[in-house]
Amino acid sequence: MACLQRLCRISLAERRVLQQLLTGATNRSIAAQLRLSPRTVESHVSAMLEKTGCRNRSQLLIWGLQRPGMAP
């Protein structure tokens, strides 16, 4: 249940960034694809790390892959 609540706390913009991360995209390519600045992408990744309790980008990717509807 806690994991589901954590997923609900991730904003729509953060989910879009996470979906791109799951495809192996870099921050720069995510920024170009979503028409954001690279710094905004970094901010979204940082926010997701905080919200999910993940310590790094690799853990965040694993966390995202374990969520229904998030895998590419």
Is-contact 27 41, C-beta < 8 A?
yes
Residue 61 exposed, middle or buried by CB count within 10 Å (0-12, 13-18, 19+)? middle
Q: What is 13-65's CATH topology? A: Arc Repressor Mutant, subunit A (1.10.10)
pTM attached to this predicted model: 0.85
How do the domains of the chain map onto residue ranges?
Answer: 13-65
d(CA 71, CA 62): 10
Q: Which residues of the chain have pLDDT under 50?
A: 1-2
d(CA 25, CA 4): 25
* pLDDT (tens digit per residue) in 5-24: 555 689 999 999 999 999 99
d(CA 55, CA 59): 7
